[in-house]
Structure 1
């Protein structure tokens, strides 16, 4: 008899996934997540945001497992703040990258644990601060990096998508084996250490809780969610996700404005529709 599996771990992106366009979580989504947790399903957040920007949402949802931040470069306990995993872009490498992008007139931010630093505060800084609800410091980036012996969690470039798309091949050719390049929004190009992404972090979290890959659901909307969507036994793309993301998922749910996270949890975690969509992750066989 075929063993019936259930979802035991759900990982959700924040922006344009869990959050509505006003950066709040709808009551229906909160209720669905709470019901899943009542049924002993572990629920976490997997985001490109920094921990301090993620924590209020995790507390609102009562999340009691580690959260994935900086696209997987840091995994941290919500309540205690204990860092379980941290991997950085080495300082020498970060300085080279920042030198290249500033030379090309790009707006850049660097991240050091719960600090965000840019060389000159602009309208882009204000826009990011509104979205993330964090304060941004103004300082010389090269000097700041030099004072950090280990390195930085993330480098973020902000510009029109066309400009970022022109710059990406250059950065990929020069640094592609040393950093992981991804987009969380069309106008955000983000860099982390080469070996980390949301998929790698989610796999490590599943292993920590002895949860099989097939028992994991990942929900996201953008390029930085692809690795975890492809890793999960059930990969879910939001209805507002770009076509490239939806094509990689085996479920497309409603949009973030239409409670897409709640719909996915209600149907495939709390409901009985899971067997209709489950796929066997690469490298595994069904039983």
Structure 2
């Protein structure tokens, strides 16, 4: 049985249930894993401030992976360990396309969310993630500043059609992924959860074979593929379940707790 030393856990629909809570059972399992000497971290598409609040609730005090892997930052002293910004020329092309095709685009500067106008998509997104937002009508000013992530919100089928369009428009400069059906996200090509997990494994001096990655969406596939044990939640999308090494219970059935107990606490 592998001696796992590092666990990276997605937040939405993985660590937290549909009520947006970390259940007592999951919390206890996290604490027991940490007590056993395992590094437990979060790996999320969320901004650092949003992820930080959940990490602190659960008592974690390690670096966490945010913005899909474009930023790794310590919880204790907020030191940045890993950062990859969206290339400015690619950001400009993306912005121009969104203006021309009337797409909602938002960006993140210094961990604050900016949009060029207030609309229902923005309001709903910020209610979901409990994130404040800022409006900047002269949005090109924001586009030309360093950002770890840009995000388009639209109909899932339409976003699927847009992915090859953006791949052709932006070339290999950007990592493009869907965190949820309605969210299409753009990061630096090395801004993936897989790159971030590889960095943290090296940072904590453990082999990738000694890591566990747990997620539910397609933006988790890179870290599941490079982890020693890639785990899909019971509520995960089918393509993720197909590539996972193990499928656990759903986020409403303490799936994370089940993984920790099976592979870390009760492993022999």
**TM-score category of the 2 structures, normalised to the smaller one:** over 0.9
| Deviation, structure 1 residue 37 | 0.4
> Aligned residue for 2:142?
144
1:181 maps onto 2:176 in alignment: yes
Distance in 1 of aligned mates of 2:242 and 2:158? 25
Distance in 2 of aligned mates of 1:64 and 1:128? 27
> Aligned residue for 1:254?
249
Q: SS of 2:77's equivalent?
A: coil
| Deviation, structure 1 residue 124 | 1.1
TM-score by length of 1: 0.90
> Aligned residue for 1:265?
260
> Aligned residue for 2:216?
221
Aligned Cα RMSD in Å? 1.2
Q: Could you tell me whether the CA contact under 8 Å between 2:103 and 2:154 is conserved in 1? A: yes
Distance in 2 of aligned mates of 1:155 and 1:141? 13
Q: Could you tell me whether the CA contact under 8 Å between 2:95 and 2:143 is conserved in 1? A: no
1:75 maps onto 2:72 in alignment: yes
1:53 maps onto 2:53 in alignment: no
> Which whole-Å deviations, capped at 9, do the CAs of 1:180-220 have from their partners, x for residues lacking one?
00011011000000122001110110011111111100000
Q: SS of 2:243's equivalent?
A: coil
1:98 maps onto 2:91 in alignment: no
Q: Could you tell me whether the CA contact under 8 Å between 2:233 and 2:248 is conserved in 1? A: yes
Distance in 1 of aligned mates of 2:41 and 2:35? 14
1:237 maps onto 2:232 in alignment: yes
1:169 maps onto 2:192 in alignment: no
1:110 maps onto 2:110 in alignment: no
Where does the alignment leave 5 or more consecutive residues of structure 2 unmatched? none
Q: Could you tell me whether the CA contact under 8 Å between 2:113 and 2:132 is conserved in 1? A: yes
Distance in 2 of aligned mates of 1:158 and 1:22? 22
Q: SS of 2:114's equivalent?
A: strand
TM-score by length of 2: 0.97
| Deviation, structure 1 residue 121 | 1.1
> Aligned residue for 2:195?
200
Instruction: Give the counterpart of 1:129 among 115, 126, 129.
Output: 126
Q: SS of 1:37's equivalent?
A: helix
Q: SS of 2:78's equivalent?
A: coil
Q: SS of 1:269's equivalent?
A: helix
Distance in 2 of aligned mates of 1:176 and 1:162? 22
Distance in 1 of aligned mates of 2:248 and 2:242? 12
1:31 maps onto 2:34 in alignment: no
Number of aligned pairs?
Answer: 267
Distance in 1 of aligned mates of 2:188 and 2:264? 33
Q: Could you tell me whether the CA contact under 8 Å between 1:106 and 1:157 is conserved in 2? A: yes
| Deviation, structure 1 residue 92 | 2.9
Q: Could you tell me whether the CA contact under 8 Å between 1:73 and 1:153 is conserved in 2? A: yes
> Aligned residue for 1:19?
16
